């Protein structure tokens, strides 16, 4: 039985990533944003600061950790503050459709603006006190995450 050939772009060098859990998104982004893609395709050694465990379980955990609203603070303080204010609003006020928000996200591409439904018929679903947390998590966190790590897709 022959062993499979190593694919082009694979790097045997170990790239060590040490992240503080409380700064998950920010520190992860800074570790990989300017790094050579070939290095990131190789052996990643992942560790959380002040924890003994390392790779491969920690690497798997790192890839699948959920991003919370608090993780957004370092990347976009304005977005973070807006989301927090909406979540803190009186439920009665939000229930009265005062926000005029729906389950869509407006994205600017080049010189045009595109509206993306975040769920089926999102443009027809008003944000209210019952679904405001869902829209904050679904919309804002997913979109900002995609915006900041979308460059990874070209690899």
Residues 75, 47 share a domain: no
Read off the tokens for 55.
């790779």
Residue with tokens 């060098």: 13
34-38 average pLDDT score: 77
The whole-number pLDDT of residue 7 equals 56
CA–CA gap between residue 9 and residue 42 (Å, rounded): 8
pLDDT tens digits, one per residue of 96-123 = 677 788 888 777 777 888 888 878 888 8
The whole-number pLDDT of residue 146 equals 60
Residues 139, 72 share a domain: yes
pLDDT tens digits, one per residue of 42-97 = 777 778 888 877 667 777 777 777 767 777 777 778 878 988 888 888 888 777 67
Greatest Cα pair distance, the chain, in angstroms, is 69
CA dist list (Å): 58 to 44, 88, 106, 145 = 10, 34, 35, 20
Residues 122, 77 share a domain: yes
Instruction: Identify the CA nearest to 23 among candidates 78, 64, 62.
Output: 62
CA–CA gap between residue 80 and residue 148 (Å, rounded): 15
Residue 83: phi and psi, rounded to 5, are -65, -45
Question: What is the total count of domains within the chain?
Answer: 2
Q: What residues make up the domain containing 41?
A: 1-65
The whole-number pLDDT of residue 10 equals 53
Model confidence, pTM: 0.53
């Amino acid at each position: 039985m022959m062993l499979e050939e190593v694919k082009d772009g694979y790097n045997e060098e170990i790239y060590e990533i040490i992240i503080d859990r409380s700064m998950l998104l920010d520190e992860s982004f800074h570790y990989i944003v300017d790094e050579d893609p070939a290095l990131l395709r190789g052996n990643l050694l992942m560790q959380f600061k002040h924890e003994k465990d390392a790779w491969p379980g920690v690497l798997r955990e790192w890839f699948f950790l959920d991003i919370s609203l608090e993780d957004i603070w370092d990347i976009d303080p304005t977005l973070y503050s807006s989301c927090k204010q909406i979540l803190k609003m009186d439920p009665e006020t939000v229930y009265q459709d005062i926000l005029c928000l729906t389950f869509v996200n407006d994205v600017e591409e080049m010189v045009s603006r595109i509206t993306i439904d975040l769920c089926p018929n999102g443009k027809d679903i008003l944000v209210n006190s019952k679904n405001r947390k869902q829209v904050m998590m679904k919309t804002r966190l997913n979109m900002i995450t995609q915006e900041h790590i979308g460059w990874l897709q070209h690899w």
